[in-house]
Structure 1
Amino acid sequence: MAVEEPLNPVLLPRPRLLGLAVRAGVLALVAVLSLRLAPYQDVLGWLALMVLAGAPAVLMPQHRVIGPLSRMAEVAVTCLAAAAIAHAAYRSGATVGAAAVVLAYLWVPTVAATLARRRFEPPALLATAVVVLTAARLADPDLGPAGFTGSAVQWVGLSIAAAAVAGILQHSLLAQRDSPQPYAEATRLLTQLRSVARQLPGATLDPGGLAEHLLDEVRAVAPATRAAVLSTSGGGRLVVLAQMGADRVDWETGLDADSAIADAWASQQPQTANRSQARSAVPPGVEVSALIVPLVAGVRTIGLIALEADSPGAYPPALVAQAAQVAAPAALRLEAALLFDEVRSLATSEERQRLAREIHDGVAQELVMVGYGIDNALATLPDVDATTEELRVLRNEVTRVITELRLSLFELRSEVDRYGGLATAIADYARTVGQSAGLRVHLSLDESTARLPAATEAELLRIAQEAITNARKHAGAENLWVTCTIDPPFAEIEVSDDGHGMVDRPKEGRYGLAIMAERAERIRGRLEIRPRVPSGTTVAVVLGSAPRRGSV
């Protein structure tokens, strides 16, 4: 015999208490209404039989034999009670509704069987009800005038409907439980994204590359002296994805400022202005026309195109409409690239944290235990023993490896703080490494309030970390110079040491240089490696064109 599945604990927490509460409530309602239609001794006697018939189903709802038999008895007793009370009510002069009052209980065992996931029991219970009610009607001629047949048909139909609704809800909730919908949907979307990413050319999911291409398209319609594509970042500010023009512009990136940029973002409509949208000063006597075109994907603003021309009235309404028409289809492409970049950054960050946890809880702890074991051995051996010296050498090596692991863990866990900045993260890492390696660290930090995209900041941090680590491990240096100049979309990070240079650098150090080159290429930056005079090596990564502060 096949074993029926137990009640679903998610749908029916504490099924005994729930079954008891439902039965008690419906029986109380039936009792109150029936006592108005028939003698109380007849009503109470049949209600007591209904309680006895349903008690096993309440006490052992999951039992594969007692539960179904008890519910079958409930249905049969309910139908007989309806017939008997209808007969008594007819004899006492009440001919309307007597049967309907008792048959209101009929749906209780039927729905209970449905929720117990008994596939064939609800139809069997309803069939039993039809048989018993039909037999009672044929055996008692008084039930015809009492309106018993019509009431029986109505309540059997309502019981069928209640069982069907319960089955639908049961199936829906079980589907949600058995198939974790958020994860299934995420898997489907990520699979589609992977397929699309493999089919597209390499640069089409790069936000910076898409932004530069968009600027070319818009400037072909609306000529501009300066132009930029801005998008959101942490802290409620905008970041510059791409910028073009003879000179750099320190664009307004605050969304709460009184500017056409903030108005375009909020209204999702193109905005024009007769003043520059930059925080840097415009030379006296220069008349500026500005056009801000929002990039809207669906109902969300995902970016802005800022155009400026050094001439009055450069953007009439017709030209504004043309620029908006060109920008409209690019919004979806840019949003896809930004989402892809964010997913990749989140996945990379999570993997780094996972590796850090595994190293800390695994290899690092085991090495510490090895060190303790060597310390215990040294404590029991005489100082003049030759083995003691070998153990001391081994202990020093274990200490060195543990230090390396701790620095690696610090590197894995280092992230650019959302409200801190890239220069702060690089400086913290350089100070920590310098302190552990005995290096004198010289910092020169110049970071504007504007931010680079989060993915770009993460790659620049990893490049700086690798350069600092190489200097510590392979250069044999005494001094470390770290210079950060960050003025989005421009950034330059330079790490120099006074070590022995690149000639004697081991192969693992050169592998690190290859990794830095790959990271720089990923963010469209330039990696420069050159000797430092009089000694040492300089590693620099440059993103964008050189800054020219204070100019427009």
Structure 2
Amino acid sequence: MATSLELRKPESARRLVLIEAASVGLVCGSVAAFPAIFGATVTAPFVGGLRRGTRGVFLALAAGLSTSVLSAVVVLGTLSQESGQALLTWTLLGLGLGLVSASIRHTLHADDAVAPYRHAAALLRELVGITDSLSSGLDQRNLGGQILSEVRDELPTVCGAVYVPHDDGLIPLAVKSFGDDHADACALAAERAWSTGQMVAAEGRFAFCLTSGSRAVAVVSGVFSERFDPQTLDLARVEGRLRTRLGDHATRLETALLFDAFRGAATADERQRLSREMHDGVAQDIAALGYLVDALAAAPVSEAQAQQLDLLRQRVTGIVADVRRTVMTLRTSVGESESLGSAITALTRNLAQVSGVAIEVTLDEHAQRLRPEIEAELFRITQEAVNNAVKHSGCTGIRVHCQVHAPDAVITVQDDGRGLGSARDDSYGMRIMAERARLVGAELQVLEPAEGGLAVQVRLGRAVPDDQTLAWPHESSAQKVARATRAVR
């Protein structure tokens, strides 16, 4: 039974070591009149060493020795000299055996390459089991909004924001502003509070770290209303009260952040695996078919067969190009880039080289980044829009405009092709892009400029794009050809 419990819940090993050692000590101490019974006490440290290593040995010895003495005193009133010597002898022997078992455990775990996977599998099973019981879920935006609502109940603010750490800086999790935009003021106060670990209260702004246990998991900042005098408020006392009220929210937020980090790492690994399998499997098989078609085309039976083989070779070449684009996009991610704009630039540069379509990228980014999951979804929307333009629009050029003023952003992908046209029954690109936009609270628009082509725009927050990104300048045919041959900037 104990072994079964340990397999299902590895974290219970420590409790099992204490329970078993205490039980053996309790029995032995109760019959201490028979000193030979203390020989049973050597089993607990030996098993403890196998389960928990050196720590398990000393836990078992402490539990067994203390319960043996206490139970002997309670039952017999005292511990005889003979029994005491026997208990000391067997305790020392148990210590030796325990250290031996701890050494064996260390050797086995060092040689067992699968042990970390077994431990991870147990943890994942536990995670799956408890996820359904989370009352507030793991939506970071909802948790950030709840925190800001609690803060606004205590402090009269015209702007409030929650920031979470990312790389070496902070990124906005939730922002609520009433009237003028004070996001920059909130960001400056948050940076100062995060770097010092102390509450900031100056120039009508405030910020303090939100902790879970002893760890700072977020920063709450805000700007007071101009009609309110912060000097009339005991901010230190209010901060203490807010920390108490937000304690549970901090724990939930930390859980959500850790879960999102794990999910992001798992997704990146899966994308890399798929790209390798496609490159080494499907792409190689299709290339082999192309060589076979070339061999058949070298000696056609008739003119009709030569035309069919030529058409087949063109189709195979197109499929190979599609697979190459897919492999490249699977391997590209925002996490490896300095910013969302950098990731989009790398994506379009590779697509331009593969497709021969000129892609021009303009960036307007502030230093502060969006949350990783938002950047990932905006990147995939851009990726899908550019891929659709390359594959289906018949365009000679594409323009991508990326504006990121966290927590707002707008990305526009515009081509000079044939326009939207009629949707195919098996086409899910637009639907998937709209679904990705909804996941991060963004809005997706598909626009057809008067001069032709198609513009796909995704907007997050209150970002307003440059009007020029929605209108392709009037160009002559010669200008279009010249632009199509330019390298991606």
TM-score by length of 1: 0.61
* 8 Å contact from structure 2 (residues 186, 222) kept in 1: no
The answer to whether the aligner puts 1:346 opposite 2:265 as a matched pair is: yes
* 8 Å contact from structure 1 (residues 444, 484) kept in 2: yes
* Distance in 2, Cα, partners of 1:159 & 1:222: 63
Match of 2:166 among 229, 233, 239: 233
Corresponding residue number in structure 2 for 1:219: 152
* Distance in 1, Cα, partners of 2:98 & 2:314: 73
* Distance in 2, Cα, partners of 1:217 & 1:295: 13
* 8 Å contact from structure 1 (residues 423, 484) kept in 2: yes
Structure 1 residues 455 and 220, CA gap change in structure 2 (3 angstroms): same
Match of 2:254 among 330, 335, 341: 335
Q: How many angstroms does 1:452 deviate by?
A: 0.8
Structure 1 residues 358 and 180, CA gap change in structure 2 (3 angstroms): closer
Corresponding residue number in structure 1 for 2:201: 272
The answer to whether the aligner puts 1:489 opposite 2:404 as a matched pair is: no
Q: How many angstroms does 1:163 deviate by?
A: 6.9
Q: How many angstroms does 1:425 deviate by?
A: 1.4
Q: How many angstroms does 1:402 deviate by?
A: 0.6
Structure 1 residues 369 and 222, CA gap change in structure 2 (3 angstroms): same
Match of 1:320 among 232, 239, 243: 239
* 8 Å contact from structure 2 (residues 358, 398) kept in 1: yes
Kindly report the root-mean-square deviation, in angstroms, between the aligned alpha carbons of the 2 structures: 3.3
Q: How many angstroms does 1:498 deviate by?
A: 2.9
Corresponding residue number in structure 1 for 2:139: 206
Q: How many angstroms does 1:252 deviate by?
A: 7.0
CA-to-aligned-CA distance 1:223-272 (integer Å, 9 cap, x gap): 112211111112x0110111111233453799xxxx65345324544221
* Distance in 1, Cα, partners of 2:361 & 2:113: 54
> What residue identity is the alignment partner of 1:335?
E
* Distance in 2, Cα, partners of 1:382 & 1:190: 59
* 8 Å contact from structure 1 (residues 206, 341) kept in 2: no
The answer to whether the aligner puts 1:460 opposite 2:378 as a matched pair is: yes
Map 1:380-395; keep pairs closer than 5 Å: 381=299, 385-395=303-313
The answer to whether the aligner puts 1:243 opposite 2:175 as a matched pair is: yes
Corresponding residue number in structure 1 for 2:482: none
Corresponding residue number in structure 2 for 1:300: 215
Map 1:296-445; keep pairs closer than 5 Å: 296-309=211-224, 310=226, 311-313=228-230, 315-317=233-235, 318-379=237-298, 381=299, 385-445=303-363
* Distance in 2, Cα, partners of 1:158 & 1:188: 34
* Distance in 2, Cα, partners of 1:342 & 1:166: 38
* 8 Å contact from structure 2 (residues 160, 220) kept in 1: yes
Corresponding residue number in structure 2 for 1:193: 127
* 8 Å contact from structure 2 (residues 410, 464) kept in 1: no
* 8 Å contact from structure 2 (residues 172, 370) kept in 1: yes
* 8 Å contact from structure 2 (residues 185, 223) kept in 1: no
3-state SS in 1 of match to 2:334: coil
Corresponding residue number in structure 1 for 2:449: 532
* Distance in 1, Cα, partners of 2:337 & 2:423: 37
* Distance in 2, Cα, partners of 1:468 & 1:212: 33
Q: How many angstroms does 1:438 deviate by?
A: 3.7
Matched pairs, number: 375
Corresponding residue number in structure 2 for 1:544: 461
Looking at CA atoms only, which structure, 1 or 2, has the larger radius of gyration? 1
3-state SS in 2 of match to 1:508: coil
Mean alpha-carbon deviation: is it higher for 364-373 or for 178-187?
A: 178-187
TM-score by length of 2: 0.69
Q: How many angstroms does 1:165 deviate by?
A: 3.8
* Distance in 1, Cα, partners of 2:305 & 2:429: 38
> What residue identity is the alignment partner of 1:341?
D
* Distance in 1, Cα, partners of 2:134 & 2:449: 42
Q: How many angstroms does 1:180 deviate by?
A: 5.4
Q: How many angstroms does 1:441 deviate by?
A: 2.4
* Distance in 2, Cα, partners of 1:518 & 1:382: 49
Q: How many angstroms does 1:371 deviate by?
A: 1.8
* Distance in 1, Cα, partners of 2:450 & 2:140: 38
* Distance in 1, Cα, partners of 2:97 & 2:238: 62
* Distance in 1, Cα, partners of 2:365 & 2:421: 33
Map 1:73-84; keep pairs closer than 5 Å: none
Mean alpha-carbon deviation: is it higher for 391-400 or for 481-490?
A: 391-400
CA-to-aligned-CA distance 1:32-55 (integer Å, 9 cap, x gap): xxxxxxxxxxxxxxxxxxxxxxxx
Q: How many angstroms does 1:338 deviate by?
A: 1.1
Mean alpha-carbon deviation: is it higher for 382-391 or for 438-447?
A: 382-391
Q: How many angstroms does 1:535 deviate by?
A: 2.4
Map 1:78-157; keep pairs closer than 5 Å: none
